Amino acid sequence: MELSGIRAVLLDMDGTLVESHAAVERAWRVWSAEYGVDPDAVMIVAHGAPAGTTVRTFLPAASSGDVVNAAAARQLALQYDDLSDVTPATGAAELLGTLARRGLPWAVVTSADVRLAKARLGAAGITPPLLVTVEDVAAGKPAPDGYLQAAAALGVAPADCLVVEDAEVGVRAGRAAGALTVGLRGLPADLTVDDLAELARML
């Protein structure tokens, strides 16, 4: 696939730029036990989506938005200090080095809140030039809001952006924004690569 026209790269965080799957799963399993829901069912839909979206799916009888917000806040709180095995994803250094050499602007667009995003990126030793979190947008993934906001902040048309994701909801968000999408580890997208190092070689 021809990537020479790409003018910016927009990266998801968890599972894409930062390897944090174990920490995410631990938090959701503890949360599921506390709220009496099936953890395996939760894990099927939680990856890549904002915590509030998953909470609303599994607590449909919640009496108010405050209940949902409190449950989502509890899930995030379980993750803030669980950073022991959070590392850069395979190929992250190669990709970020390639972007720097080519002078391509990039951003992180995540379903995490800003506290969690900064904690995980910090643990991985990554400082993005632009960070868009779920707190910055009206609607999280699969809505395109985060990717549209990042493209606008970088001054690049969405159609000239490359969205890199490891979750189906993220690919949907990237496509809805009008960007070209890359899926990691077999995830269906406009382009599929094994890891970020492979993408770096293509750029």
Spell out a b/e string for 95-132, using b for 16 or more CB atoms within 10 Å of the CB, else e.
Answer: bbebbeeeebbbbbbbbbbeebbebbbebbebebeebb
The active-site residue, picked from 12, 82, 113, 166, is 12
Active site residue 195: no
Active site residue 14: yes
Is the peptide bond prior to 60 cis by the omega test (within 30 degrees of 0)?
no
| Complete edge-to-edge strand list for the sheet that includes strand 161-165 | 131-132, 106-109, 8-11, 161-165, 180-184, 191-193
**In sequence order, what are the beta bridge partners of 133?**
none
The rounded distance, in Å, linking the Cα atoms of 25 and 27 is 5
Query: What's the angle, vertex CA 183, arms to CA 151 and CA 25, rounded to 5?
Result: 100
The active-site residue, picked from 14, 82, 113, 166, is 14
The rounded distance, in Å, linking the Cα atoms of 189 and 171 is 7
Nearest residue to 141 (alpha-carbon basis) of 161, 167, 119, 169: 169
Annotated catalytic sites, by residue? 12, 14
